[in-house]
Amino acid sequence: MKCERCQKNPARVRVEQIVDGRREQHFLCQSCIEELMSAAMEQTGGLNGLNGQGMPGAPFGFNPANNNASAANGRNTATAQRQAHDSKTPTLDQYGRDLTAEVAEGKIDPAAGRQRELRRLITVLGRRQKNNPVLIGEPGVGKTAIVEGLARRIHADDVPATLRGKRIVSLNIGGMVAGAMFRGQFEQRIKSILEELRQAPEVIVFIDELHTVVGAGAAEGAVGAADMLKPALARGELRCIGATTLDEYRKHVEKDAALERRFQPIMVDEPTPEEAIEMLHIVRPNYEAHHGVSITDEAIEAAVKLSDRYINDRFLPDKAIDVMDESASALRLEAMEKGIISPDLTAELERELANLQNKKEAAANAEDYERAALLRQQELLVQDKLEKARAQDGGSIQLILTPEHVAQAVEGWTGVPVSQMLESERQNLRGLEEDLRKRVVGQNEAISAVARAIRRSRAGLKDPKHPIGSFLFLGPTGVGKTELAKALAAELFGGEEHLIRLDMSEYMESHTVSRLFGSPPGYVGYDEGGQLTEQVRRRPYSVILLDEVEKAHPEVFNSLLQIMDDGRLTDGQGRTVDFKNTVVIMTSNAGSAELKRAARIGFMPIKVEDVRDEQHEAMRSKAMEGLK
């Protein structure tokens, strides 16, 4: 086979090339290969190759765009290497966030309150030995915000002399473990960070979720992160702030006594509603700027009070901030769907601005300062257009967040109707008896007793630890006990889906009691949870109907006593389930046979009230004996 280029010499080399996704083969002689390669080395542009065209991407040619991109990447790598070489802590910078630098750049939201915890944190950091505090509290109470508040005070020089000029770096343990494929890689990263911290005593390391350090990177025969940190913590070479929950601290940190004694615990409790309102006032401007809405003081108070009352599985201020954030987002979306505001121009300008900023940074990293200056001018023009568009958008229509919008957001979370949360609840409770009588006929006394108990509870006259109400409905089959429970669920919580009904005849044996609250660890069904506790966790505002309660095993009543007395119950997985917002109704037909015995033959003059009292007393005594 002859050479495809010169058509003289025999082909010695096969060259493969991909053009437009197709694989092409060329057979060339050694002389042509040498000529083409030497010419390619002399010219950085297109080369007259096999097709005789000087276009970039021709056979054996160099693409100038690719060549320039490669050069830019090389300059970026060199710039990053120079920056890493200039930094005293390159490994720590790679796997951490400098909180003090982010405060200076305005990337961290301001915080309010927590002066007692912040003072205690500064006190522990100022100690000569064992100056490693750990913040312990429930998720969402503001542990990380306390550390960010310390970074803000360091930036403002509002700290003692021992903390001035310090850097707080948040270390990402998960990022250090990620990508450590070979044995020893993770340990080498830890070792590098510890060595950098010895050379940079001004750095304070913050480890969020401190329990992840225990066992991180540990394999058979390997050393974990906690074991490598212990000597540095003991010698004072590492000043560390930790944050974790109480359960995780007990489960992971307390088991390692050598690690526990090197940390000083600081308990962070959930703030009061008044403190949470103050915190939301501080962060309000950031959320107003993000959503383009005006958040009223009443909306902030509603977010705190409604979330505190109706969202029981989370903690302040986190749940109140989330409610405010979601309600503002929903208000903005509703305005867009109704055509009140037009986001098209604003969104397009925002995308264009972000694109220009990315191109400007890339040009600056590539040391192409002329292009960076040109992009900077374009960026200023787009910013001016964006500000005008936002002013027109916000100036024409001012979106205001009200308590009604907040209540709608809480309804989406909990399923409790909006009317239940607002002032109209008074009107609903005032007409509760009439609404129940429309559905349950002939039980006026029972309905009045239930309505009075519900109103006393809503008025705040009940013990706050108890459920809303606990009732025992007695009577023969078919008189309306279950129907009254359904009607009560519909009137109080907005629908019969808020009725949790359990047939207690299924719990006659002692071993079936665990089905209500969950099996203990090691038993079948441990991961499934309890039939009662799981439903209450999902719907904390419900009517619990325990049908034919006299048939249940006596062990069931011990647990029911805890529900009625303390308003809470611990399931098989150790989680505390709140029953304070439930209505507990037990039904029984024990003693109903006394009503049939009282029937007399003939026309004897009797008083209906006397017979009814005798019947009820006999039924009550029989029911109590059956329940015992």
- What gap in Å lies between CA 343 and CA 393, rounded to an integer? 8
Q: Which residue has the higher pLDDT, 85 or 177?
A: 177
pLDDT at res. 386: 77
pLDDT band at 21 (very low <50, low <70, confident <90, very high): low
Report which listed range, 263-277, 303-317, 480-494, is most confident.
263-277
357 is written with which tokens?
């900023």
508 is written with which tokens?
């006659």
Q: Which residue has the higher pLDDT, 295 or 129?
A: 295
Q: What is the mean pLDDT of residues 464-489?
A: 84
pLDDT at res. 326: 92
- What gap in Å lies between CA 121 and CA 598, rounded to an integer? 75
pLDDT at res. 80: 44
In 216-314, where do the E strands start and end?
Answer: 240-244, 264-267, 294-295
Query: Rounded mean pLDDT of the chain?
Result: 76
- What CATH number is given to the structural domain containing 403? 1.10.8.60
3-class SS at 570? strand
Same domain for 381 and 254, yes or no, is no
Q: What is the mean pLDDT of residues 320-345?
A: 81
- Are 463 and 453 contacting, i.e. CB atoms less than 8 angstroms apart? no
493 is written with which tokens?
């919580």
Residue 43 lies in a domain: no
Of 267, 290, 316, the position where a domain reaches its end is 267
- What gap in Å lies between CA 242 and CA 264, rounded to an integer? 10
Same domain for 259 and 150, yes or no, is yes
- In this structure, which long-range contacts are made by residues 366-369, counting pairs with CB atoms below 8 Å and at least 24 apart in sequence? 366/72, 366/75, 366/76, 367/75, 367/79, 368/72
Q: What is the mean pLDDT of residues 60-85?
A: 44
Number of domains in the chain: 4
- What gap in Å lies between CA 376 and CA 248, rounded to an integer? 49
Q: What is the mean pLDDT of residues 476-481?
A: 82
In this predicted model, what pLDDT tens digit does every residue of 558-600 receive, in sequence order?
Answer: 778 888 888 888 877 777 888 888 888 888 876 565 555 555 5
pLDDT band at 325 (very low <50, low <70, confident <90, very high): very high
Q: Which residue has the higher pLDDT, 417 or 9?
A: 9
Q: What is the mean pLDDT of residues 446-468?
A: 80
**pTM (predicted TM-score):** 0.63
User: Is residue 414 predicted with pLDDT exceeding 60?
Assistant: yes
Cis bond leading into 317, ω under 30°?
A: yes
Other beta carbons less than 10 A from residue 369's beta carbon: 11
User: Is residue 220 predicted with pLDDT exceeding 60?
Assistant: no
User: Is residue 127 predicted with pLDDT exceeding 70?
Assistant: yes
pLDDT band at 84 (very low <50, low <70, confident <90, very high): very low
- Are 205 and 169 contacting, i.e. CB atoms less than 8 angstroms apart? yes
- What gap in Å lies between CA 557 and CA 628, rounded to an integer? 9
Q: What is the mean pLDDT of residues 80-105?
A: 72
Same domain for 326 and 349, yes or no, is no
Same domain for 166 and 284, yes or no, is no
pLDDT at res. 222: 54
Same domain for 224 and 98, yes or no, is yes
Same domain for 385 and 448, yes or no, is no
In this predicted model, what pLDDT tens digit does every residue of 188-198 receive, in sequence order?
Answer: 888 888 888 88
Run of H or E including 469 = strand 469-474
- Are 136 and 244 contacting, i.e. CB atoms less than 8 angstroms apart? yes
Other beta carbons less than 10 A from residue 430's beta carbon: 11
Same domain for 580 and 482, yes or no, is yes
pLDDT band at 300 (very low <50, low <70, confident <90, very high): very high
- What gap in Å lies between CA 95 and CA 188, rounded to an integer? 13
Residue 361 is part of which domain span?
343-395
- What gap in Å lies between CA 80 and CA 61, rounded to an integer? 30
pLDDT at res. 612: 58
Q: Which residue has the higher pLDDT, 55 or 518?
A: 518
Helix residue ranges, H only, 236-272: 246-248, 257-260
pLDDT band at 324 (very low <50, low <70, confident <90, very high): very high
Residue 563 lies in a domain: yes
- 70-74, 97-101, 242-246, 380-384: which has the minimum mean pLDDT? 70-74
Same domain for 239 and 181, yes or no, is yes
The CA-to-CA distance between both ends of the chain, in Å, stands at 105
Residue 210 lies in a domain: yes
pLDDT at res. 61: 43
- 161-165, 379-383, 426-430, 550-554: which has the minimum mean pLDDT? 426-430
pLDDT at res. 464: 74
In this predicted model, what pLDDT tens digit does every residue of 154-188 receive, in sequence order?
Answer: 888 888 888 888 888 888 887 777 777 667 777 78
pLDDT at res. 176: 77
pLDDT band at 79 (very low <50, low <70, confident <90, very high): very low
State the Cα angle at 311 between 307 and 312, rounded to 5°: 125
Same domain for 186 and 299, yes or no, is no
User: Is residue 335 predicted with pLDDT exceeding 70?
Assistant: yes
Same domain for 314 and 364, yes or no, is no
User: Is residue 236 predicted with pLDDT exceeding 80?
Assistant: no
Dihedral angle sign, alpha carbons of residues 287, 289, 290, 293: positive
Residue keyed to tokens 């604003």:
346
Q: What is the mean pLDDT of residues 440-468?
A: 81
- What CATH number is given to the structural domain containing 541? 3.40.50.300
